[in-house]
Structure 1
């Protein structure tokens, strides 16, 4: 299998700061606007304004104490939702600049994409989804949109952050048809319409989604090795890891001796660089093939931002490895079950005794949805403390 040096020599030229957007990019001057009209900001484009509102939101601050794979009390150096979010934004902006896309829009979507995530990572989502089975279910992607549309309470004229259509569209990257129909009834032609028409979102939204995948694969490898649950030797079974590890050792033979941290970091650095260049090359090829002349023509085309077939296959192989060896590791599964227990019991208690919640939630006529909103907004450590307060038992030691 042919490989390239890292970084490759034939890197697509970056779009410099201040350069014009590509014709297929999302132009803020042509934004579909906000649900509640506002005067434009004098010094910021609409997507910059979205980004700033997200960064100053309560939900964004909570990400620092929300889990990726390892809980807060398991170590200070593991990723949180906040560090993951910043890595997604960095990768997204880097790729966007090379493709002539709107960096501020990519960043806004990236910063908001996990605002609706539960405490305890995917274990928390699975627990809440089961609790909400008779009440519409729970999906963190849709919850992120709910956070920016409804739950943030900052402005006197409207609920939510009143973000632009393009940012909201990027946040809602998945949506069941029944939910899309519900959104369409309440917001005709809005962010649910593309799921009914089976069209695509903006290139910026497609890019933020892929940057999320690139980021979590890389940092879950790093966190998994740091935890001792997987090893660099096991990862060497994967061609995607092995070729960059071998290239690093060929250039720096001293990395074979002593602690493996530098070798792991160098391997992941090379892998990330190659994946970024692969996305740029593959996306440019797709853009040339389909030749969209406008952002609207992007929506009628197939997905255009992606890996090459070889990189897609290798990335999927890495995801399967992480699922089998890390996410389903017995030590992780023990933590997962405890986390699910905490959220199941909190949900049941709040439904039975809504007065235990703040008044804004306790007074809602849609009790189960209000409980889901409240519980999903918790940080790991707050959920642990609340569970201990309400049950008298301590499943985890708080961080």
Structure 2
């Protein structure tokens, strides 16, 4: 049953370019399907989540991460009476703007783009779904609904306001054509996608870190939340083999995070008593949250992951190596745009100066997979390919 404060595809604010509605799918279902069929979504298969994608078949990539986020978002949205197709669409799209090599690649590209307005992967996702995907006859991008675009742009909260930094170029550019009300919160479905991202990566980064031997299950069994889950598994199945013990403990950890978000959000909604989706946008605070005790525990877990995984010595070694790949490629394309593929040359011709060219080069590099970036670096620069882990 749809809650009164849920987004309703029948009353969507529509698309920038009007289209006939589908007889078989809601507007939000069509958004989700367009995202799944986008080229940028397919490329997530070969983009870093925590480990460079070719380093192991079992580690998460941006694609598997996005699918896990979407599964969590759909579960929470259904429990709260929300439109789970919209929550799923935002979840699937939330990482479309990521560069190769995860946050290491983004940090390198942001520094290179500093003279031209910087680079932000959330804003880049908007640029992808509104400009860079070019498959449809009637428009550039995917022509998503207002609600999905709003969710991609501000699922973590308002991005415009007197106390916030200037809008990234990609967001400002689209917002000038199609007001996304960037100074307000997003609808509940987008907020669900944001918390689902937190749940998914806290769970799978522990799992991938264990698989990479960066720490042991006994070590994380000392962490809050995880400790009770391990203890329960040991009580129910004493002597369980290490692989099953790890899986059983972490799936309980996963489930408890989901249950906490649902319970806390229901309590917040009961207090606010919103009558419509607009009440959520103007509530002045995020409504989809962890409880305070669980949030404190998650911060402890994040601190552990930061030091034991994201900043582990061999991970930092790879971070430096892959940042150099991006740093080497960017000035090469800036100095010789003819190195860009032929289909990019029309954009280069219309770039309108150095800043315009820099954005095109950033678009091209950001769209690369880990594998393709390494191949291009070998071809244009030379040198051996990095072969360790990279932080998220």
TM normalised by structure 2 equals 0.92
Alignment of 1:393 with 2:375, yes or no, is no
Task: Decide whether the 8 Å contact of 2:149 with 2:180 is kept in 1.
Answer: no
* 2:18 alignment partner in structure 1: 37
Q: 1:126 to 1:74 in 2, by over 3 A?
A: same
Question: Moved runs in structure 1, 4+ residues, more than 4 A?
Answer: 180-186, 188-192
Aligned residue pairs, count: 373
Whole-Å separation in 1 of the counterparts to 2:41 and 2:106: 18
Unaligned runs of 5+ in 2: none
The correspondence of residues 345-360 of structure 1 with structure 2, limited to 5 A, is 345-360=328-343
CA drift of 1:187 comes to 3.4
The correspondence of residues 131-170 of structure 1 with structure 2, limited to 5 A, is 131-170=112-151
Q: 1:390 to 1:162 in 2, by over 3 A?
A: same
The correspondence of residues 274-285 of structure 1 with structure 2, limited to 5 A, is 274-285=256-267
Deviations along 1:215-274, whole A, 9 cap, x unmatched?
01100000001001121122122111111111111111122xx5x221111111101111
* Alignment partner of 1:72 out of 30, 53, 58: 53
* 2:252 alignment partner in structure 1: 270
Unaligned runs of 5+ in 1: 1-19
TM normalised by structure 1 equals 0.90
SS in 1 for 2:5: coil
Whole-Å separation in 1 of the counterparts to 2:29 and 2:187: 17
Alignment of 1:217 with 2:217, yes or no, is no
* Alignment partner of 2:360 out of 359, 362, 370: 370
Task: Decide whether the 8 Å contact of 1:168 with 1:191 is kept in 2.
Answer: no
Q: Using CA pairs below 8 Å that are at least 6 residues apart, which structure has the higher relative contact order?
A: 2
Farther off after superposition, 40-49 or 181-190: 181-190
Whole-Å separation in 1 of the counterparts to 2:206 and 2:17: 42
The correspondence of residues 146-295 of structure 1 with structure 2, limited to 5 A, is 146-173=127-154, 175=159, 177-179=165-167, 183=171, 187=175, 190=178, 192-195=180-183, 199-255=184-240, 258=241, 260-295=242-277
SS in 1 for 2:295: helix
* Alignment partner of 1:57 out of 38, 42, 45: 38
CA drift of 1:188 comes to 5.1
CA drift of 1:290 comes to 0.5
Whole-Å separation in 2 of the counterparts to 1:312 and 1:32: 34
Farther off after superposition, 175-184 or 208-217: 175-184
* 2:103 alignment partner in structure 1: 122
Whole-Å separation in 1 of the counterparts to 2:382 and 2:85: 46
Alpha-carbon RMSD across the aligned residues, in angstroms, is 1.7
Q: 1:307 to 1:317 in 2, by over 3 A?
A: same
Task: Decide whether the 8 Å contact of 2:123 with 2:171 is kept in 1.
Answer: no
* 1:322 alignment partner in structure 2: 305
Task: Decide whether the 8 Å contact of 1:183 with 1:190 is kept in 2.
Answer: no
CA drift of 1:192 comes to 4.6
CA drift of 1:156 comes to 1.3
Whole-Å separation in 2 of the counterparts to 1:141 and 1:236: 34
Q: 1:182 to 1:229 in 2, by over 3 A?
A: closer
Whole-Å separation in 1 of the counterparts to 2:203 and 2:76: 16
Whole-Å separation in 1 of the counterparts to 2:134 and 2:170: 23
Whole-Å separation in 2 of the counterparts to 1:292 and 1:394: 57
SS in 2 for 1:178: coil
CA drift of 1:334 comes to 0.7
Q: 1:71 to 1:35 in 2, by over 3 A?
A: same
